[in-house]
C-alpha cells in the first residue's frame, strides 16, 4: 500500500518549484492563482528570493504547502492508499486527498502563518532538538520543569524529539536533558514555541477560519498529527486540525500506525527529503521515494 507524506516548515529552499512552473501549464496556472490569493508574488521569492526572505513564516508556510500540493497534483500517477503530513504538511495532505480545496487550503495556511507569527511576538519562545534519549524520559524531564512552559512538540523518530516552550524553559530543559543522558540538546533557529500551549492565541484565531472552510470526505484515510490515527470524517478532521497548533506532532506514531495498517511504500511530496530520512529511522524495511 502506498502512503504519500508531506513535509512541513524547514524543508524550503530557494529555487523550489521552478521546475514545476517550467514543465507544467497546470502548475503555472496554480502558481499564478496563489500569487493572486496571497496578494504578493510568492513565486519570485520561491524561485529567486533570498534565504532570509523565504524563512519568514508568512512566506515559508505557503511556499512549502504550494510546492507539496503541486508535486502531488501534477504527478503522472498519484494514487494514495493513505496520506499524512508533518505539521504544516497536514494541510497539503488534506488538499491532495481532496478533503479541502486548493484555494481554501492556501488561505488557511496563510491565516495559520500569520496567526503563529503574532503568537510568537506575544510570547518570546523557542524550540530545541533532543537527540539520543527515549521519548518517555524527555517528556518526564520536561514535566519536571514546573515554573516554565516546556513540552514535547515533535516526535520525529526514535531518539529524535523536538521540545517547545518559553526561552527560559528551553534553557532549563536542555541542561536537565543533557544531565539526564541526552547526546545532544540543540536550540533551533525558529520564531517561537510551535505545538505548545504558547500557540493558544493562534489556535483560537485559526479555529474560526477552519470552522468556516468547507471540508469533504477525503479519497483515502488521513493520518493526523494529534492522535496518529486515520480519519475520514470532515468534522473530526477539522477538530484535529484546530488542536494541532497546541498539540505535539506524533510523526513516529503516525508512521508506525500506517505501517501497521499495511503501508509498504512511503512517497514524499514536496521540497527536500527530510521525511524519507525519518521513515527510514522508524522502520528501515520500508520502500521510500519522492515524487
Q: Please state whether beta strands 222-223 and 230-231 pair in parallel, antiparallel, or not at all (unpaired).
A: antiparallel
Percent of all residues in the chain with a pLDDT value above 70, rounded to a whole number: 100
Out of 87, 125, 196, 247, the active site residue is: 87
Out of 164, 195, 231, 247, the active site residue is: 195
Q: How confident is the model at residue 57 (pLDDT cuts 50, 70, 90)?
A: confident
Name the class of domain 2-121+197-290.
alpha beta
Domain ranges of the chain: 2-121+197-290, 124-187
Which CATH number applies to 124-187: 3.40.50.150, 3.40.50.2300, 3.30.70.250, 3.40.720.10?
3.30.70.250
Active site residue 195: yes
* pLDDT at residue number 189: 81
**DSSP string computed for the chain:** -EEEEE--TT---TTTTHHHHHH-HHHHHHHHHHHHHHTS-HHHHHHH--HHHHTSHHHHHHHHHHHHHHHHHT-S----SEEEESTTHHHHHHHHTTSS-HHHHHHHHHHHHHHHHHHHHHS-EEEEEEESS-HHHHHHHHHH-TTS-EEEEEEEETTEEEEEEEHHHHHHHHHHHHHTT-SEEEE---SS-TTSGGGHHHHHHHHHHHHHS-----SS-EE-TTT--EE--HHHHHHHHHHGGGS-B-HHHHHHHHHHTT--EEEE-SSSSHHHHHHHHH-TTSEEEE-
Question: What are the pLDDT digits (tens) for 184-227?
Answer: 999 998 889 999 999 999 999 999 999 999 999 999 999 999 99
Q: For residues 67 and 51, what is the distance between their CA atoms, to the nearest angstrom? A: 16
pTM of this prediction exceeds 0.75? yes
Amino acid at each position: 500500500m502506498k502512503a504519500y507524506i508531506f513535509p512541513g516548515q524547514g524543508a524550503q529552499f530557494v529555487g523550489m518549484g521552478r521546475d514545476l512552473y517550467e514543465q507544467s501549464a497546470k502548475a503555472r496556472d496554480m502558481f499564478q492563482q496563489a500569487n493572486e490569493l496571497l496578494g504578493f508574488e510568492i513565486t519570485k521569492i520561491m524561485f529567486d528570493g533570498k534565504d532570509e526572505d523565504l524563512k519568514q513564516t508568512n512566506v515559508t508556510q505557503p511556499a512549502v504547502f504550494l510546492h507539496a500540493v503541486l508535486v502531488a497534483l501534477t504527478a503522472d500517477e498519484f494514487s494514495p492508499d493513505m496520506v499524512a503530513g508533518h505539521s504544516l504538511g497536514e494541510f497539503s495532505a488534506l488538499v491532495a486527498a481532496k478533503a479541502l480545496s486548493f484555494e481554501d487550503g492556501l488561505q488557511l495556511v496563510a491565516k495559520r502563518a500569520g496567526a503563529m507569527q503574532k503568537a510568537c511576538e506575544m510570547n518570546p519562545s523557542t524550540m530545541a532538538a533532543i537527540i539520543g534519549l527515549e521519548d518517555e524520559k524527555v517528556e518526564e524531564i520536561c514535566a519536571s520543569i514546573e515554573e516554565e512552559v516546556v513540552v514535547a512538540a515533535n516526535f520525529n523518530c526514535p531518539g529524535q524529539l523536538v521540545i517547545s516552550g518559553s526561552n527560559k524553559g528551553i534553557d532549563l530543559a536542555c541542561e536537565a536533558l543533557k544531565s539526564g543522558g541526552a547526546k545532544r540538546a540543540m536550540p533551533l533557529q525558529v520564531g517561537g514555541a510551535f505545538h505548545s500551549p504558547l500557540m493558544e492565541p493562534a489556535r483560537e484565531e485559526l479555529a474560526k477560519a477552519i470552522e468556516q472552510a468547507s471540508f469533504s470526505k477525503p479519497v483515502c484515510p488521513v493520518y493526523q498529527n494529534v492522535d496518529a490515527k486515520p480519519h475520514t470524517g470532515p468534522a473530526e478532521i477539522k477538530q484535529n486540525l484546530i488542536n494541532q497548533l497546541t498539540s505535539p506532532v506524533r510523526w513516529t506514531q503516525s508512521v508506525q500506525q500506517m505501517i501497521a495498517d499495511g503501508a509498504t511504500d512511503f512517497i514524499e511530496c514536496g521540497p527536500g527529503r527530510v521525511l524519507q530520512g525519518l521513515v527510514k529511522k522508524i522502520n528501515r524495511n520500508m520502500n521510500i521515494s519522492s515524487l
